[in-house]
Structure 1
Amino acid sequence: MLTDERHQLIRDRLAAEGRVLAGELASRFGVSEDTVRRDLREMAKAGQCRRVYGGAVAAAPFAAAPVSLRGGHAVEEKMRLARAAVALLSSGQSLFIDGGTTNAAIASAIPRDLELTIATNSLSVASALSDHALVELIVLGGRFDRDLGTCVGADTLAAVAQLGADLFFLGSCGLDASRGVTAFDSAEAEVKRAMARNSAGIVIAVTNDKLATAAPYRVAGPEAIRHLVVEKTAPAAILADFEHQGAEIHFA
């Protein structure tokens, strides 16, 4: 297979899924991982992708795409993360759950025998919990952003300020052991920070493509993460950095 053909296939995969893994591409193309890594370096230099541990992500980060486009990405991985995340819950807790497709999967996976109080600014999370008989559901109003799928702004912040939570399930756009949790939208980041301040602990469930990446707006430092739920294939070196800063790692 010619270099240009590989590059086009990589671009197509990035457009469809937002990420590629060097090992998977090497197997698919019948070439060495060194060859794929060279392809990715060349493409990153040309601005066609952004290198991350083990592969690359789209140059215009997929996590910044509208939530409607991200819904079909890594569905099985998010379902596994969700099942592992809800194992951290116990009856009687109060939770914040903000936006994101992984958090929507978590809301859907919450066992029906758990009695919880859940506050959310996400319409998809609220919809997933609307028929959960034992959940006292608090929908945090405000200006609805269709791309984010959440309410943001002054009214949302005022509603968050009136509440407290045992745990905050924080939807992460980027997660890095030095920069911490980050987001692509300033209004979204502001709501996330408010929820973090009013919570006793932060839980993040994240797919591998978001590890060792960062978005422009800081939400919380890595030391604020109490529980980090990751895929079994998450890089050990990256996880060790989070463990060193106090996070408990859970594998899905």
Structure 2
Amino acid sequence: MSLSFRQSDIIEIAKQNGRVMVEDLALQFGVTVQTIRRDLSELAELGKLDRVHGGAVLRSGVSNIGYEDRRALNAEIKTRIAQVCAANIPDGASLFLNIGTSTEAVAHQLLNHKDLMVVTNNMNVARILVENTNCQIVVAGGVLRRSDGGLIGNLTNSTIEQFKFDYAVIGCSALDADGDLLDFDFQEVRVSQTIIAQARHSFLVADHSKFQRSAPARIASMSEVDVFFTDQPLPSRLARKCKEWGTRVVYSGRTTGDSH
């Protein structure tokens, strides 16, 4: 599909500003907001932009989009994924929730669980779970990443290594066709690797937009994940690999593959 002149201009504006807003573009190009929304939806389908509330952000392979934009991106879908993931975590479990807006969505869905012990390097997760008085919260210390409330570094890793979790619930910034989980921050990657190593069962929560993105740092292979919670069927190559590895994929109320 070829781009219209307006769509090409929209991409150039996004490259300059990092994001574009529907109403601003409508005024700039002298068209309706409905026309701009169609343009942005088509550009998102082509993998050029990611839709967020009120506009779109530039899709990048070397740096992540801002926290507030990540939180708004596919928010309803993340909630549905989180509901299914949380339903697979029993009361009385110990678990780790790492940095990310998808794991924060899972935290919201755990507010009615009982007798949980949650370890996290995500200050936002800790704030969410404070509302659950039946949940013991352990914050893994480290260097605070102010942009999103994440804690990273050697101290974080040392804290995680003191535990053996029933479940690790992790997110990622991208997921490639080879089944590699990818991220942008090398320090965060090391923390995620430690989390997986210290968990009896590893859950990945990620929506379909992660299939279309790229990031430079490798966390792990999907073969190390027990269950992948997502919203749409996987690309065929990745689906075959998950079946070979025995990684269970749960999406839209359906399950594929075999459990470990």
Fold similarity call, TM over 0.5: yes
CA distance 1:2–1:201, shift in 2 (3 Å): closer
CA distance 1:8–1:81, shift in 2 (3 Å): farther
How big is each residue's C-alpha offset from its partner over 1:92-145, in whole Å with a ceiling of 9 and x where there is no partner? 211010010111111011151432111000011111101211111111111101
Note if contact 1:108-1:129 (Cα within 8 Å) is conserved in structure 2. yes
Note if contact 1:99-1:121 (Cα within 8 Å) is conserved in structure 2. yes
CA distance 1:73–1:63, shift in 2 (3 Å): farther
Residue number in structure 2 paired with 1:5: 6
CA distance 1:223–1:74, shift in 2 (3 Å): same
Note if contact 1:95-1:168 (Cα within 8 Å) is conserved in structure 2. yes
Structure 2: which amino acid aligns with 1:173?
S
What SS does the aligned partner of 1:136 have?
A: strand
Residue number in structure 1 paired with 2:194: 194
Cα distance, 1:220 vs structure 2? 1.1
- Separation in 2, partners of 1:2, 1:180: 31
What SS does the aligned partner of 1:229 have?
A: strand
Residue number in structure 2 paired with 1:79: 79
- Counterparts of 1:164-179 in structure 2, within 5 Å, are 164-179=164-179
Structure 2: which amino acid aligns with 1:82?
A
TM-score normalised by length of structure 2: 0.75
Structure 2: which amino acid aligns with 1:162?
Q
CA distance 1:8–1:245, shift in 2 (3 Å): farther
- Counterparts of 1:42-53 in structure 2, within 5 Å, are 49=48
- Counterparts of 1:103-142 in structure 2, within 5 Å, are 103-142=103-142
Note if contact 1:67-1:149 (Cα within 8 Å) is conserved in structure 2. no
What SS does the aligned partner of 2:19 have?
A: helix
How big is each residue's C-alpha offset from its partner over 1:147-200, in whole Å with a ceiling of 9 and x where there is no partner? 242111111111111111111111111112415111100111111111111011
Note if contact 1:63-1:173 (Cα within 8 Å) is conserved in structure 2. no
Residue number in structure 2 paired with 1:219: 219
What SS does the aligned partner of 1:249 have?
A: strand
1:143 pairs with 2:143 = yes
What SS does the aligned partner of 1:166 have?
A: strand
State the identity %: 22
Structure 2: which amino acid aligns with 1:137?
I
- Separation in 1, partners of 2:248, 2:151: 30
CA distance 1:110–1:63, shift in 2 (3 Å): farther
TM-score normalised by length of structure 1: 0.78
Note if contact 2:62-2:184 (Cα within 8 Å) is conserved in structure 1. no
CA distance 1:102–1:137, shift in 2 (3 Å): same
What SS does the aligned partner of 1:118 have?
A: strand
Cα distance, 1:233 vs structure 2? 5.5
- Separation in 2, partners of 1:245, 1:212: 22
Unpaired stretches in structure 1, ≥5 consecutive residues: 18-24, 51-56
Unpaired stretches in structure 2, ≥5 consecutive residues: 22-34, 50-56, 253-260
CA distance 1:85–1:200, shift in 2 (3 Å): same
Structure 1: which amino acid aligns with 2:69?
L
Note if contact 2:177-2:235 (Cα within 8 Å) is conserved in structure 1. no
Note if contact 1:103-1:171 (Cα within 8 Å) is conserved in structure 2. yes
- Separation in 2, partners of 1:16, 1:231: 26
Match of 1:28 among 24, 33, 38: 38
- Counterparts of 1:151-166 in structure 2, within 5 Å, are 151-166=151-166
